[in-house]
Amino acid sequence: MKIYTDTGKKDTRSGFGAGLTELGKTNENVVALCADLTGSLKMDAFKENHPQRFFQVGIAEANMMGMAAGLTIGGKIPFTGTFANFSTGRVYDQIRQSIAYSGKNVKICASHAGVTLGEDGATHQILEDIGLMKMLPSMTVINTCDYNQTKAATIALADHNGPVYLRFGRPKVANFTPENGPFTIGKAVELQEGTDVTIIATGHLVWEALEACKTLQEQGISAGVINIHTIKPLDAAAILKSVAITGCVVTAEEHNYLGGLGESVSRILAENNPVPQEFVATKDTFGESGTPDQLMDKYGLNAAAIVKAATKVVARK
């Protein structure tokens, strides 16, 4: 089993901010728009360094999405920044028509996704955004797992032509992927090889999957772990390769099991290799106020929940 080390807890949104700061220096076509959440999205440095290329739009997300689409006409690469809730559900039709259907090169960057937003509660904790975005034709959907990967993904987006939804979060979590590591959109990362069960995780649940893997090994279960940072297009080959060995799957995500990564994996399995699957995800519910750790525990979104699901799915084989 490979050893992964947490080099110090950091928030994924700061990874986005760092990536955007670097892009500001290296790519003059990159512009950024923010709907009154510059500090929360860690866009301060970009704003400071490039005031002409930063657009403060106020609390007006629909206008922000339309403006972003317009900025591409003239060769700009717009990165929009607000919370995941206001990046998706609030502006679904603007994204659908002015960005996705119009084929515009807009990067929709969404922080505070999922229940780990914490105390603000369900009004702000969107658990449906992956589903909303993956249903849009032409939309690429990325959910990164730590600071380093979020920074790398942000930088990679500028070289990708087409609309992208980049999802990250608020809390400080383990930072364990390589600094300045490669990021290939659509390419899954196999973190652990296993023979008994394949754990397919995205976002904050990837570190939890690695923790679960250790516990499972102590119980005599060999678990593979795949980090799915790109939910669409989904790396079917990587999933099927592992599943061919293990014969069962646990998917893990900070999202509703309706419309999330788990359902995308189910489709791949149904079409190619139907095997038992368990879902670590919220089960068609809204969130609530609490600390991130409390919420991840209450809604079954941590290493303990993954261990339980893995044990169950292995028994179903």
Partner 1 sequence: MADITQLEAFVTQVRRDIVRQVHKVNSGHPGGSLGCAEFLVALYQQVLKRKEGFNMDGDQEDIFFLSNGHISPVFYSVLARSGYFPVEELNTFRLLNSRLQGHPTTHEGLPGIRIASGSLGQGISVAIGAAAAKKLNNDKHLVYALCGDGELQEGQNWEAIMYGAGNKVDNLIVAVDLNGQQIDGSTDTVLPLGNVKGKFEAFGWEVVTIEKGNDIQAILEGMETAKTKTGQGKPICVLLQTVMGNGVDFMMHTHAWHGKAPNDEQLASALAQNPETLGDY
Q: Which residues are catalytic?
A: 61
Cα separation, 269 vs 30, in Å, equals 38
Beta strands in 100-184 (DSSP E): 107-111, 140-143, 164-167, 172-173
Q: Which residues pair with 30 in a beta bridge?
A: 77
Distance CA 136, CA 38 (A): 27
Q: Which is nearer to partner 1, 31 or 213 (CB)?
A: 31
Tokens 């390419």 sit on residue: 187
How many whole angstroms separate alpha carbon 262 and alpha carbon 253? Answer: 8
Check if the beta carbon of residue 84 is closer than 8 Å to that of residue 113: yes
| Neighbouring-strand partners of residue 13 | none
Q: What is the DSSP letter of 52?
A: G
By the rule CB under 8 A, 277 interacts with partner 1:
no
CB of 103 to partner 1, least distance (A): 6
Binding string, residues 99-138; x marks residues near partner 1 by CB under 8 A = --xxxx----------------------------------
Sign of the alpha-carbon dihedral angle for 96, 97, 100, 105: negative
3-state secondary structure of 271: helix
Closest approach of partner 1 to the CB of residue 27, in Å? 13
Which listed range, 68-76, 140-148, 185-193, 197-205, lies at the site for partner 1 (CB under 8 A)?
Answer: 68-76
* The pair of three-digit structure tokens given for residue 15, joined into one six-digit string: 């990874």
Lay out the site mask for partner 1 across 43-62 (x = CB under 8 A, - = otherwise). ---------xx-x-xx-x-x
Task: Name the token pair of 201.
Answer: 């995780």
Interface segment toward partner 1; rule CB under 8 A; list 73-81, 165-173, 202-210, 246-254: 73-81
Q: What's the N-to-C CA distance of the chain in angstroms?
A: 23
Tell which positions 11-40 bind partner 1, by CB under 8 A.
Answer: 31
Nearer Cβ to partner 1 (101/179): 101
67 belongs to the binding site for partner 1 (CB under 8 A) = yes
Segment contacting partner 1 (CB under 8 A): 36-44, 75-83, 186-194, 225-233? 75-83
Give the shortest CB-256-to-partner 1 separation in angstroms: 26
Q: How far is the CB of 97 from partner 1 (least distance, A)?
A: 5
Query: Does residue 78 bind partner 1 (CB under 8 A)?
Result: yes
Q: Could you tell me the two tokens for 246?
A: 């293990």
Check binding of 90 to partner 1 (CB under 8 A). Answer: no
Q: Which residues contact partner 1 by CB under 8 A?
A: 31, 52-53, 55, 57-58, 60, 62-76, 78, 93-94, 96-98, 101-104
